[in-house]
Amino acid sequence: MRQRLCRMCGNWHDTEAWPAECYKQRSESRSAFPVPHFVCDTQDELQSQADGKWYTSKSAMRASYKAENNPHGVNFTEVGNEDLTRFTLPPKLDRKANRDAVERAISAVESGSIPPVHTTDSFPL
């Protein structure tokens, strides 16, 4: 005969004949749902911005954000619905270089050096 101290009532009971009133009572459910909350790994098909592939698994898509799993070799961070304008800088415009490039293109067309037009016959499939 072996006895143990009961945590419910503080008395000693026989381990083979434990009283039913000293079993730990199940607490009521904290919600009306019949199952506990869990997060599913599946999602609607989304395209990864790191490698351009389409994924239905959240863990597989997050793995593509790691440097060893994407063609860029860079670690990406998932930012969600944040405003991305604060992360990107507007491009610097070199107006003089743009003006010179347009003037060169206009003078090339006026002098008759028009590039040849390529058709699909030039590039067989």
Give 7-42 as a DSSP string: TTTS-EEETTS--GGGSPPPPPPSSS-SS-----SE
The predicted-structure confidence for 28-47, as pLDDT tens digits, reads as follows 666 677 777 778 899 899 88
The predicted-structure confidence for 61-106, as pLDDT tens digits, reads as follows 999 999 898 888 889 888 777 666 677 777 889 999 999 999 998 9
pLDDT band at 12 (very low <50, low <70, confident <90, very high): very high
Average pLDDT over residues 39-56: 89
pLDDT (0 to 100) of residue 99: 95
Rounded CA-CA distance 66/57 in Å is 15
**In the chain, what are the domain boundaries?**
42-79
